Amino acid sequence: DSKTPLQKKLESLSKAIGILGISISFVVFVLSLLQGSTYFPAFLLAISLAVAVVPEGLPAVMTITLAIGVKEMANKKAIIRKLSAIEALGSITLIATDKTGTLTTNKMKVSELYVDDKLYKESKPPSLSNHPFSKMLLDGILCSTASLVFVHDHDQYDVLGDPTEGALLFLGQKMGLIPEMVRKEWKVVDEVPFDSVTKRMTVLVEKFPISNNQFPNKSQISNSKILFSKGAPESILEISKYYQVGEKIEKLTPNETKNIENIMHAWAKKGLRVLAFAYKNTSPSKMSNELTNQLTSDDLTFLGMVAIHDPPRPEVLEALAKAKRAGIKAVMITGDNEVTAEAIGVSTGFIKENEEILTGKQLEEYSDKDLLEKLPSVKIFARTTPFHKARIVKLYQELGEIVAVTGDGVNDAIALKQADVGVAMGLIGTDVARETADMVITDDNFATIVNAVEEGRNIIKNLKNAITYLLSCNVSEALALVIGLIIGIPNLFFAIQLLYINLVTDGVPALALAFSPKDDSVMNDQPKKEMELLDSRNKKYIFLVGLLATCMVIASYFIFRGTDLYRRTAAFSVLALIQSFIFVDLWLSHHSVLKNLNKLKRGIFLVAFIVPFILQFVIVHSERLASVFKISSVSGSTFIGYIIAASLILVWIRILKRML
């Protein structure tokens, strides 16, 4: 079914209102006949009331509201791919986010190095004559899919691809190893791409002398073939039996492994991302069908590690506070180790020190039942794979959470599809992730997700306000007519009057409500897991405000003394004008008029508010139009009296809110 849940709910609501409208029309038809009306006028009035009661403008209002909302989100760097995401965004109870690039800036830079059994700062690295260092730089350049592109507008190089790999390319370029030239000299013969399970990438490269020939001939091919691997330190240590110090290759002992792990943990505690490198010289005589065995070799030589600094985004703290205020939980699901994840989690305000963190290994040890008990108390999941992420999302949903999850890789598509709102990264996300997602954020920023949730809530708020407006106006029209008939006022309104009110004083403001200003207070409300077009608060508003308006319309019939036609003019005008003041209340989302005068200065509001007044004045002031609408023409001072009478609805609404 191509219809969104929101469209289905609107259809259901429209059907219910339609049935109610027909029922009320039948009652009015019978009462009109009992009051002495002839069949045709009574039938015409009943049909007009049915048309007035049923809010035909609802589909148009919904379409415009959603279209404006989608445009607003796009302006705020959130691209909606599926309209159903808007409804879900307004109901989100949990955001499961990546760390790199979402909570951090993704502006990677190598800050420290461990190579040749020594520690170095990036500002004072060893020279290229250092054999392990030069080999580690080669590893970082060749075992990479990223590239550096010179951007003339910025007069600098930018990274095309993974920013982590970009940091390695920048380091190599700084040391004089131009990535483009290195890749011309060394050709990748075979590779095992980065895998989220093994946490490493491996390539087999062969050296060709640089020449002008596009394809080297056999005489140009050297005997140099090297296996390079790059990835998480623990993953690289798993496949390393040796380590290199200077020109010597030594056995990787438990003590040396422990030393490497200590350095890795010290860096991770600073929130630094750690990558390790290893290599192996291979036999050039290996046939292509034996390459796979070479690529999965476990006797490599450990070269060293780099620590990459990726600063936390300063806006994350504020976004987390906003999410918490809105009753939205946030959890981090990252492939980084738990120490780095904790450091970033503490610095961004996700957790406090020493809070529990679950790793991918622990997740595999827990049954679903055990994990369901654990989830409410855990905010960070480290060293996870996309499959872990999908499982976490599914279990959160079993706990009743409405989940938004971020993803950028091909394998993240599973979690993105499982989530209520899949959020793909626009900068570093793969095509598969973007196509699977419900929403794409173009700046990969966690704060953008929270802002999108806020925008989603405002869209739903505007839609609810438009529906509430239309129905409260329709209730006042129907009740005024029915009560008028009951108390002995036959045909208080004529068909043409009801049709005019339905088209102009109902329709124009209802459409304008799609443009109503953002209400910051929506992020003070707890999320509602099941979005209703009309909750109990809206239903009370519709009935009570409709009843108040009815009482004021009936009262105006008796207060403005004169001929029967004069009294009908008052009732018709007050009914038409009251709706403009109900529009004011809903435009301000029930907030005080005096405290929000700046929100009443928007052009769309002024048009929707003033046009019905002008048209109503023209109708009651022109004898020709007055006769068409079956009313009497009145003076300007009398019309001002109608405005004052209608405006009192705002006072009554304020009193009503205090009582409720």
Q: Counting every residue, how long is the chain?
A: 660
525 is catalytic: no
Of 98, 408, 438, 519, which residue is the catalytic one? 98
- Alpha carbon 187 to its chain centroid, in Å, reads 42
Question: Phi-psi bin for 580: left (phi > 0), alpha (psi -120 to 50), beta?
Answer: alpha
Residues near 230 by beta carbon (within 8 Å), at least 6 away in sequence: 139, 140, 143, 144, 200, 201, 202, 236, 275, 276, 277
First to last CA, the chain: 40
Residue 88 tokens read as 């879900």
Closest CA relative to residue 379, chosen from 400, 415, 352: 352
- Alpha carbon 314 to its chain centroid, in Å, reads 19
Q: What is the 3-state secondary structure (H, E, C) of 375-416?
A: HHHCCEEECCCHHHHHHHHHHHHHCCCCEEEEECCCCCHHHH
- Alpha carbon 199 to its chain centroid, in Å, reads 29
Which residue is listed with tokens 């905010």?
Answer: 379
Residue 209 tokens read as 């002398």
Question: Phi-psi bin for 77: left (phi > 0), alpha (psi -120 to 50), beta?
Answer: left
Residues β-bridged to residue 309:
109
CA 312 vs CA 138, 329, 341: distances in Å: 29, 19, 11
Burial class (CB in 10 A: 0-12, 13-18, 19+), 432: middle
Amino acid present at 271 = G
Q: What is the 3-state secondary structure (H, E, C) of 232-300?
A: CHHHHHHCEEEEEECCEEEECCHHHHHHHHHHHHHHHHCCCEEEEEEEEECCCCCCHHHHHHHHCCCCE
Answer for the pair 274, 308: CB distance below 8 angstroms, yes or no: yes
Largest CA-CA distance found in the chain, in angstroms, rounded: 113
Amino acid present at 600 = L
- Alpha carbon 448 to its chain centroid, in Å, reads 7
> Following DSSP, what letter does each residue of 598-650 receive, concatenated?
GGG--HHHHHHHHHHHHHHHHHHH-HHHHHHTT-----HHHHHHHHHHHHHHH
Which residue is listed with tokens 């065995």?
Answer: 293
Active centre residues (catalytic)? 98
